[in-house]
């Protein structure tokens, strides 16, 4: 944007543009240029990562078109929530794309991501929480974070969780993934001194109300140091953890 302003100012200085015409061409200036020049570039630098595609509800065709655009610019590619049959129709058209069925993600890495300052641990309560936990873990790894998985350590069998104390204490950020009663982040946050990102999952039935029970439990988590993302939002947790780990 600076250059456009500069150009105008120089024209005014050179007498090639009257202040009136300059003013006229600058009407809406803060907004227009904000859009095209400054902010867009600013944003790429600012956010420090390529755009990530949320695959659910998109056709294979739409995913391929957006993905190619990203790949063409030399960026790394991450598509979340891609079911296997969708990937089957994608893979022939996206050379080098790699599918992770347990996370339901598609990745294509062209250049290594900037590494974060520590490790991220992803802890899940039950086996049914795995897809969401994997989405979080794959996202974290994609964004340059060494990641440890600690799965199936729900609070009903406390010893299995406590047994992982070593791995937990090596993490700089912890992601906890749990459905049903959502008690895991409360217990974990009481054991560590790092930020805990809590992901409620829709795992459960009846009074779990598709994850509402776990969500409310996590928002009411008693120990400090817990913050919550949307139900089943593994990507959001991985992204947030990566931001923290890159500070």
What is the number of residues in the chain?
247
Indicate the burial class of 83 (C-beta count within 10 angstroms; 0-12, 13-18, 19 or more). Answer: exposed
CB 193 within 8 A of CB 173: no
Q: Which is nearer to a copy of itself, 85 or 92 (CB)?
A: 85
Q: How far is the CB of 38 from a copy of itself (least distance, A)?
A: 7
In the block, residue with structure tokens 């390529």: 50
Q: How far is the CB of 70 from a copy of itself (least distance, A)?
A: 15
Q: How far is the CB of 71 from a copy of itself (least distance, A)?
A: 19
Q: Per-residue contact track with a copy of itself, 83 to 112, x per CB under 8 A?
A: ------------------------------
Q: How many Cβ atoms from other residues are within 10 Å of residue 60's Cβ? A: 18
In the block, residue with structure tokens 């902010």: 39
Q: Which is nearer to a copy of itself, 96 or 205 (CB)?
A: 205
**Count, residues near a copy of itself per rule CB under 8 A:** 113
- How far apart are the C-alpha atoms of 241 and 238, rounded to whole Å? 5
- How far apart are the C-alpha atoms of 47 and 240, rounded to whole Å? 12
Q: How far is the CB of 159 from a copy of itself (least distance, A)?
A: 3
Q: Per-residue contact track with a copy of itself, 140 to 179, x per CB under 8 A?
A: --------------xxxxxxx-xxxxx--x--xx-----x
* 3-state SS assignment for residue 105: strand
Q: Rule CB under 8 A: which of 48-87 touch a copy of itself?
A: 48, 52, 56-58, 62
């Amino acid at each position: 944007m600076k250059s456009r302003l500069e150009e105008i100012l120089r024209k005014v200085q050179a007498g090639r543009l009257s202040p009136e015409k300059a003013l006229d061409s600058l009407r809406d200036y803060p907004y227009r240029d904000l859009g095209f020049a400054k902010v867009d570039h600013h944003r790429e630098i600012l956010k420090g990562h390529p755009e990530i595609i949320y695959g659910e509800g998109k056709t294979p065709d739409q995913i391929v078109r957006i993905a190619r655009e990203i790949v063409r610019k030399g960026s790394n590619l991450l598509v979340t929530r891609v079911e296997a049959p969708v990937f089957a129709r994608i893979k022939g058209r996206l050379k080098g794309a790699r599918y992770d069925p347990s996370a339901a993600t598609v990745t294509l890495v062209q250049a290594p991501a900037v590494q974060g300052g520590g490790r991220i641990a992803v802890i899940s309560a039950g086996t049914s929480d795995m897809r969401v936990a994997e989405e979080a873990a794959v996202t974290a790894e994609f964004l340059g974070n060494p990641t440890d998985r600690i799965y199936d350590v729900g609070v009903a069998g406390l010893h299995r969780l406590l047994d992982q104390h070593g791995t937990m204490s090596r993490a700089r950020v912890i992601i906890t993934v749990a459905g049903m009663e959502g008690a895991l982040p409360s217990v974990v946050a009481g054991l560590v001194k790092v930020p805990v990102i809590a992901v409620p999952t829709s795992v459960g039935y009846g009074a779990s109300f598709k994850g509402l029970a776990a969500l409310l439990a996590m928002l009411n988590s008693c120990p400090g140091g817990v913050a919550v993302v949307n139900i089943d939002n593994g990507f959001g947790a991985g992204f947030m953890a990566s931001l923290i780990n890159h500070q």
